[in-house]
Amino acid sequence: MISVRNLRVVRRHRTLLDDVSFNLNAGEITALIGPNGAGKSTLMTALVGLCRLTGGTIDLQGRPIAAFGKRELARVMAYVAQKQDFLWDLEVQEVIGLGAASSTERDLTISSLGLDEFAQRRIKTLSGGERSRVMLARALAAQTPLLLADEPAADLDIRQQRSSMRLLRNEVRHRNLGVLVVLHELNLAFTFADRVLLLHHGRLVLDTDAETAAHSPELDRVFGERFTRTTIDGRTVVFPIETTA
């Protein structure tokens, strides 16, 4: 669905992304991981057309992304930004309704995310985690074939993190949704993603399936940690080894 080739973004003589190439496919969750400052958010904003490219191309459904109008792009791709801004104190159902393809989709999404109890509450009365779930719901309700989410699990407790990722996985399976999600929690990526992209200093150093990524020594090198690996329910998860000096 998305084809990124030799993407390069330079700002104020600083290279934020360099020679990044990958494909994003329908029907799978692709996790984008990497340390702080690796260029994950820059890559996400480039993909949604909010960042001027220094070089390279981004094609969406075979067309350059720059050729899409804002409205047309919004029909293909929904985006959950890292920073959420709520100037107007709307009700949760109003927020989700603004992104929803229809009122039926709005109500279905509210139910499927277990947001019924919040539906008539004002957004500013919710916690950070609850707001994150509302914005994920808003994006899902748009029923676009593609969803990009920048750290949607950041403010969530572990139960809500897993619940949100399960929901994404269900959407991927049931309606062939393509998902690119930035995750800081590595084991969420290895548990729920089909593919993992590892970004380091603006360069893509790993583009592989989740199992291979979990075993890759690149992980230890990029994060500067020694990880131990173990397999739970057929999925490999990693833990940093705490060494005593």
Partner 1 sequence: MRPGALTLSLAILLGMAGVFVGATLGVTSVGPAQLIKALTSVDPSSSDIVVAWRLQRVAGAFLVGACLAIAGVIYQGAFRNPLAEPFLLGSSAGGALGAAFAIFLPLPFLLDASLPTLAFAGAWGATLLVLLVSRMARINDAAGMLLVGIAFAALLGAARSTATLVLSDESVSLRAMISWTLGGLQTPTGATLALFALLTLTCLAASLMLARNLDILGFGEPTAATMGVDVGRFLPLSLTVAAFATGIGVAWGGVLGFVGLIIPHAVRWWIGERHAPLLVHSALVAGGFLAALDGISRVLVAPSEIPLGLLTALIGAPFFIVLLVKRYR
For binding to partner 1 (CB under 8 A), which residues are involved?
45, 48-50, 69-71, 73-75, 77-79, 81, 83-91, 94, 98-99, 122, 142
Residues 53 and 18 sit within 8 Å (Cβ to Cβ): no
Nearest-10 crossing angle of helices 103-112, 92-99 = 120
Task: Supply the minimum distance, in Å, between the C-beta of residue 128 and partner 1.
Answer: 15
Residues 94 and 124 sit within 8 Å (Cβ to Cβ): no
Rounded to an integer, what distance in angstroms lies between the CA atom of residue 123 and that of residue 245?
A: 47
Residues 119 and 93 sit within 8 Å (Cβ to Cβ): yes
Quickly tell me which residue has 């994150």 as its tokens.
132
Task: Supply the minimum distance, in Å, between the C-beta of residue 98 and partner 1.
Answer: 6
Cβ proximity to partner 1: between 136 and 206 the closer is: 136
Cβ proximity to partner 1: between 75 and 235 the closer is: 75
Helix (H, G, I), strand (E, B) or coil at 183: coil
Cβ proximity to partner 1: between 69 and 224 the closer is: 69
Cβ proximity to partner 1: between 49 and 56 the closer is: 49
Cβ proximity to partner 1: between 88 and 217 the closer is: 88
Task: Supply the minimum distance, in Å, between the C-beta of residue 191 and partner 1.
Answer: 27
Other residues' Cβ atoms within 10 Å of the Cβ of residue 166? 12
Task: Supply the minimum distance, in Å, between the C-beta of residue 52 and partner 1.
Answer: 13
Helix (H, G, I), strand (E, B) or coil at 30: strand
Rounded to an integer, what distance in angstroms lies between the CA atom of residue 29 and that of residue 71?
A: 24
Task: Supply the minimum distance, in Å, between the C-beta of residue 122 and partner 1.
Answer: 8
Task: Supply the minimum distance, in Å, between the C-beta of residue 83 and partner 1.
Answer: 7
Beta bridge partners of 228: 239
Rounded to an integer, what distance in angstroms lies between the CA atom of residue 154 and that of residue 25?
A: 24
The alpha carbon of 195 is separated from its chain's Cα centroid by a whole number of angstroms, namely 12
Quickly tell me which residue has 């669905």 as its tokens.
1
Cβ proximity to partner 1: between 91 and 218 the closer is: 91
Quickly tell me which residue has 């399960």 as its tokens.
166
Cβ proximity to partner 1: between 135 and 197 the closer is: 135
Task: Supply the minimum distance, in Å, between the C-beta of residue 63 and partner 1.
Answer: 17
Quickly tell me which residue has 């075993």 as its tokens.
215
